[in-house]
């Protein structure tokens, strides 16, 4: 709880089997070869003074404060840049060293404001610490001499200030931007006394390439770079380690607090997913949790045309349960259902699906993974036997070739994107498969060897063409296949993939990629010692999403790129707990642990534990719920932490379905778009207000710990428990740890998981079992998770999407995310992140724009077979001719008004990535936008107190 400053060893740890013996100040020390003298000294508690050194960055040797003497050596070398050597004898402190350090420190202080009493660092300052450490008591230099004390502050960034008058030009911020983040936005301008830190070319931070990840703020040893929240509220006094609630990277943070107020979120050095790094969202965009829009009192109303009434929790729960019971009595047991949240904890999600199966008496439960990664679940389960990524994030540091398909890591998963860029700067080769030019294609010190700029919707044709080259040129790993895979399925697949219609020369006309490029990329991937595939929604959100996932799995098996570090098939999950929500049994056909509801043994296990008879037939998927609502047979819905009215496709159909229901219960932080169609609103709790766990994209189960009391009075799991009890199904947990005990008892892959173990280890990657008591970083190391232990090859015939361009709809619209905003934007839009992205825009190629007389900033109508919306245009050659692109972070954009009802053949995952459209210059918003604006305004008025 208290503020424990994390130990800084000065330089990074080195891994080496060779150990070196040396003596430091008379003490015997053993350190791995390559370790710095500074770190070796710190390992036995001797902290050599330093300013430019920190263990998150490579040593730099510029401050000259860390000098030491080495017996038999010349001069006074910097301990940060001097590696240990066998038999070395080091002196870290004597009069000569003390005099040098004091002299160096005196020079620093001579050009530094002596305003320590009023400085925002308030003692949390390494410069002040080091002045004390070296015993500096006076500064002899003329304070009126040349100095930088009046340098102007840069306050342009909404989250931190840059005060160059306090800068000691240690370069830590510059190096953090290069080494940790990989943006190279900062530099040291000029030389000697004129040296200064410069964002880009002497620009303000907001005008530079800075992505506000906070690495520079974190690295700064003085108050030069300082969070505005600390300047405003003062230094925090206690901290609690928890897990970020944004993307699927699952970064660990120290929530630094003052009472129950979060002062800042600091990336946790021991976080296994992030290693002390962060992005603008996790680091700074936490203000939504205490935003004035938070609804903290339960509300009910009879009709969506009525004013909301604030009621007690008891009354709200009673009303919700009686309505659900009434609907079931009138329309039948299957007329109600629920949707779990990928933002809530594992424990909360588990309880919602348990309530639906045991309390509602049906399997009508689904989750947002239906519309994002359900094809991952299906495709990897079929081929590998488990519905998840195969590696941990650190595995990328052992990859020689990295293939990124339909993902944008630097925007969607920024901390992992930085790690990947680090590996690319070390020499790994990159293949990008994307219709758009994402930042990874070309950014500082990173350039893709191949950018396969395919036409949206042609993924399967491309993966088959890559496989065709690998098969026909015999670039296969036959030994791996024969040992690890189902050989009969492999023989069938080989024969299928070698057929001439899969050749790159045929695929060229379908995908738009030159055959030579396809062949070169296939050879690069297959020829690597270690090749890894990372993919995102550009793979899954297609009518052949599941087929593409299977195609990726086939490719990895055929080349032997599974079962060790540096390889694998890695889905980059969008939301913080989308992996966990799937693990916890949120799909209508699966119990927790991906076991089918029709499996008698599994069902009996749950029936015995839950004390109730369970259904053996799968329930309704989200799209089926909407269809049934429109048909008048599905009339009650419990939605926890999910905004289906903004995020699901063919929005007009979704809105019609929601209007058709008799009771919609929404449990959330804000009156989001779905809540505008609700009859009961139950206040939710943010990640800062609850205990539990999240599971990230690498299957890492991490602790979520309460840092402040829930503003609405209850954590989300407690609300679900109250609803279950009111429905007549008893639940009486007293803490989320008890829910995890039940999950572990009933779910084989979680059998070894407990809060005690998570607290002890920091986090655990499932499967965590008796065989792997501390978890499993790399899946399928010895055998696949399928029943017979063998990987299964499956045939992947390319079937063109039904969505075709025509003279009426000549362009293809595809969608994605942007760094500063998150998903439907309900959280990030309520923070200062809006300064980077205040509206969704339509990216259009200069040729297509010129044909239509469109300029950047113009209003353009985007019309598809499903509907029409209007956005501002942004002309850019990041998109190819014939393709337009937008994000979906703002509800008024109506991006999903135009997406169609096409979906994946196996899982109903919508085809967000391929919509045929026409784009024309217009002068007003669309009819749908105008109607929806009026509806939203009306709903906000109904929220106001009467």
**pLDDT tens, residue by residue, 440-452:** 999 989 999 999 9
CA atoms within 13 A on the CB side of 438: 31
* pLDDT tens for each residue of 284-319: 999 999 999 999 999 999 999 999 999 999 999 999
Give residues with Cβ within 8 angstroms of 698, minimum separation 6.
250, 273, 389, 391, 392, 393, 570, 765, 777
d(CA 744, CA 858): 55
Instruction: Kindly tell me if the per-residue pLDDT of 1 is higher than 70.
Output: no
Instruction: Kindly tell me if the per-residue pLDDT of 46 is higher than 80.
Output: yes
Strands 636-640 and 663-668: parallel
The pLDDT value recorded for residue 143 is 66
CB 919 within 8 A of CB 852: yes
The pLDDT value recorded for residue 821 is 85
DSSP H/E element including 591: strand 590-591
Q: Where are the beta strands (DSSP E) in 594-722?
A: 595-596, 636-640, 663-668, 680-683, 692-695, 700-704
CB 565 within 8 A of CB 529: no
d(CA 922, CA 515): 40
- Tell me the average pLDDT across 562-580: 91
Tokens representing 70?
């080495």
Which of 421 and 370 is assigned the larger pLDDT?
421
pLDDT grade for 144, boundaries at 50, 70 and 90: low
Provide, rounded to the nearest whole percent, the portion of the chain with pLDDT above 90: 74
CB 406 within 8 A of CB 434: yes
d(CA 770, CA 793): 30
| Omega before residue 520 within 30° of 0, cis | no
The pLDDT value recorded for residue 628 is 95
CA distances from 746 to 603, 605, 874 (A): 11, 7, 51
Alpha helices in 473-512 (DSSP H): 478-484, 487-497, 504-511
CB 271 within 8 A of CB 262: no
* pLDDT tens for each residue of 352-363: 999 999 999 999
pLDDT grade for 945, boundaries at 50, 70 and 90: low
Check residue 361 and give left, alpha or beta (phi > 0: left; psi -120 to 50: alpha). left
d(CA 791, CA 481): 8
Chain centroid offset of residue 791 CA: 29
- Name the average pLDDT for the chain: 92
Give residues with Cβ within 8 angstroms of 132, minimum separation 6.
none
CA distances from 569 to 380, 388, 410, 552, 553 (A): 9, 9, 19, 7, 7
pLDDT grade for 832, boundaries at 50, 70 and 90: confident
DSSP 285-334: TTGGGG-TT---S-EE-SSTTSPPEE--HHHHHHHHHHHHHHHHHHH-GG
Instruction: Kindly tell me if the per-residue pLDDT of 946 is higher than 60.
Output: no
d(CA 634, CA 615): 17
Tokens representing 80?
């940060």
Picking from 90, 80, 82, the residue whose alpha carbon sits closest to that of residue 29 is 90
Instruction: Kindly tell me if the per-residue pLDDT of 912 is higher than 90.
Output: no
d(CA 849, CA 414): 31
The pLDDT value recorded for residue 724 is 97
DSSP state of 218: H
The pLDDT value recorded for residue 850 is 95
d(CA 160, CA 220): 12
pTM of the model: 0.93
Picking from 743, 749, 762, 758, the residue whose alpha carbon sits closest to that of residue 347 is 743
194 by DSSP, 3-state: which?
Answer: helix
- 2 burial via Cβ count (<10 Å: 0-12, 13-18, 19+): exposed
d(CA 206, CA 274): 25
The pLDDT value recorded for residue 901 is 78
């Amino acid at each position: 709880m208290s503020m424990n400053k994390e130990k800084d060893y000065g330089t990074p740890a080195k891994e080496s089997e060779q150990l070196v013996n040396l003596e430091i100040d008379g003490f015997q020390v053993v350190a791995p070869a390559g370790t710095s003298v500074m770190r070796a000294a710190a390992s036995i508690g001797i902290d050599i003074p330093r300013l430019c050194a920190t263990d998150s960055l490579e040593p730099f040797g510029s401050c000259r404060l860390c000098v030491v003497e080495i017996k038999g050596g010349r001069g006074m070398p910097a301990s940060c840049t001097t590696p240990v050597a066998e038999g070395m004898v080091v002196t870290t402190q004597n009069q000569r060293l003390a005099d040098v350090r004091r002299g160096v420190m005196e020079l620093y202080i001579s050009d530094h404001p002596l305003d320590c009493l009023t400085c925002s660092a308030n003692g949390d300052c390494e410069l002040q610490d080091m002045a004390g450490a070296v015993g500096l008591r006076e500064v002899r230099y003329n304070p009126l001499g040349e100095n930088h004390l009046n340098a102007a502050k840069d306050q342009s960034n909404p989250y931190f200030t840059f005060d160059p008058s306090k800068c000691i030009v240690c370069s830590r911020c510059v190096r953090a931007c290069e080494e940790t983040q990989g943006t190279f936005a900062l530099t040291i301008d000029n030389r000697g006394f004129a040296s200064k830190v410069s964002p880009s070319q002497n620009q303000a931070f907001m005008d530079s390439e800075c992505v506000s990840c906070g690495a520079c703020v974190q690295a700064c040893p003085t108050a030069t770079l300082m969070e505005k929240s600390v300047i405003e509220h003062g230094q925090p006094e206690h901290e609690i380690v928890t897990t970020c609630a944004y993307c699927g990277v699952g970064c660990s943070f120290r929530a630094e607090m003052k009472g129950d107020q979060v002062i800042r979120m600091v990336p946790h050095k021991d976080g296994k997913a992030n290693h002390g790094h962060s992005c603008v969202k996790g680091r700074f965009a936490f203000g939504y949790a205490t935003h004035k829009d938070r609804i903290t009192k339960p509300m009910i109303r009879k009709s969506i045309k009525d004013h909301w009434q604030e009621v007690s929790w008891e009354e709200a729960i009673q009303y919700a349960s009686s309505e659900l019971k009434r609907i079931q009595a009138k329309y039948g047991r299957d007329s109600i259902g629920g949707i779990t949240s990928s933002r809530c904890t594992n424990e909360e999600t588990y309880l919602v699906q348990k309530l639906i199966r045991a309390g509602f008496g049906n399997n009508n439960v689904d989750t947002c993974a239906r519309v994002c990664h359900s094809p991952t679940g299906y495709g990897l389960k079929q081929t590998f036997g488990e519905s998840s990524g195969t590696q941990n994030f650190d595995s990328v540091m052992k990859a020689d070739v990295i293939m990124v398909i339909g993902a944008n890591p630097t925007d969607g998963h920024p901390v992992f994107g930085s790690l990947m860029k680090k590996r690319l700067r070390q020499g790994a080769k990159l293949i990008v498969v994307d219709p758009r030019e994402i930042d990874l294609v070309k950014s500082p010190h990173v350039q893709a060897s191949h950018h396969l700029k395919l036409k949206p919707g042609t993924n399967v044709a491309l993966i088959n063409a890559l496989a065709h080259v690998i098969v026909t040129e015999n670039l296969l790993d036959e030994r791996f296949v024969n040992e690890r895979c189902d050989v009969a399925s492999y023989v069938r697949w080989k024969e299928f993939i070698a057929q001439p219609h899969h050749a790159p020369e045929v695929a060229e006309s379908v995908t738009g990629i030159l055959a030579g490029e396809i062949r070169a990329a296939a050879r690069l991937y297959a020829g690597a010692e270690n090749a890894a595939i990372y993919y995102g929604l550009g793979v899954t959100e297609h009518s052949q999403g599941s087929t593409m996932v299977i195609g990726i799995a086939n490719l990895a098996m055929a080349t032997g790129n599974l079962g060790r570090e540096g390889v694998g098939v890695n889905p980059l999950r969008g939301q913080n707990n989308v992996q966990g929500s799937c693990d916890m049994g949120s799909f209508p056909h699966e119990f927790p642990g991906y076991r089918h509801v029709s499996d008698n043994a599994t069902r009996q296990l749950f029936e015995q534990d839950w004390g109730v008879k369970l259904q053996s037939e799968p329930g309704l998927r989200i799209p089926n719920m909407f269809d049934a609502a429109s048909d008048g047979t599905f009339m009650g819905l419990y939605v926890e932490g999910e905004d289906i009215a903004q995020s699901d496709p063919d929005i007009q159909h979704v809105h019609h379905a929601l209007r058709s229901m008799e009771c919609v219960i929404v449990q959330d932080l804000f009156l989001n778009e779905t809540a505008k169609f609700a009859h009961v609103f139950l206040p939710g709790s943010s990640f800062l207000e609850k205990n539990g766990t999240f599971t990230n994209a690498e299957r890492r189960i991490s602790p979520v710990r309460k840092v402040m009391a829930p503003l609405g009075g209850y954590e989300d799991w407690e609300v679900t428990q109250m609803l279950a009890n009111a429905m007549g199904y008893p639940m009486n947990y007293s803490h989320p740890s008890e829910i995890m005990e039940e999950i572990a008892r009933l779910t084989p892959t979680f059998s070894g998981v407990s809060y005690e173990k998570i607290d002890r280890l920091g986090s655990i990657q499932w499967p965590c079992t008796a065989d792997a008591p501390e978890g499993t970083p790399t899946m399928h190391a010895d055998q696949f998770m399928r029943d017979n232990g063998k990987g299964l090859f499956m045939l992947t015939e390319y079937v063109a999407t039904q969505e075709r361009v025509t003279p009426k709809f000549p362009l293809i619209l595809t969608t994605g995310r942007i760094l500063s905003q998150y998903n439907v934007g309900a959280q990030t839009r309520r923070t200062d992140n809006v300064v980077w992205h205040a509206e969704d825009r339509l990216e259009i190629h200069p040729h297509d724009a010129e044909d239509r007389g469109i300029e950047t900033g113009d209003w353009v109508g985007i019309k598809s077979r499903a509907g029409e919306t209007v956005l501002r245009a942004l002309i850019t050659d990041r998109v190819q001719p014939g393709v337009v692109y937008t994000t979906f972070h703002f509800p008024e954009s109506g991006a999903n008004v135009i997406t169609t009802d096409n979906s994946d053949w196996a899982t109903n995952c919508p085809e967000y990535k391929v919509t045929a459209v026409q784009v024309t210059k217009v002068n007003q918003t669309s009819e749908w936008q105008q109607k929806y604006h009026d509806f939203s305004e009306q709903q906000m008025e109904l929220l106001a107190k009467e």
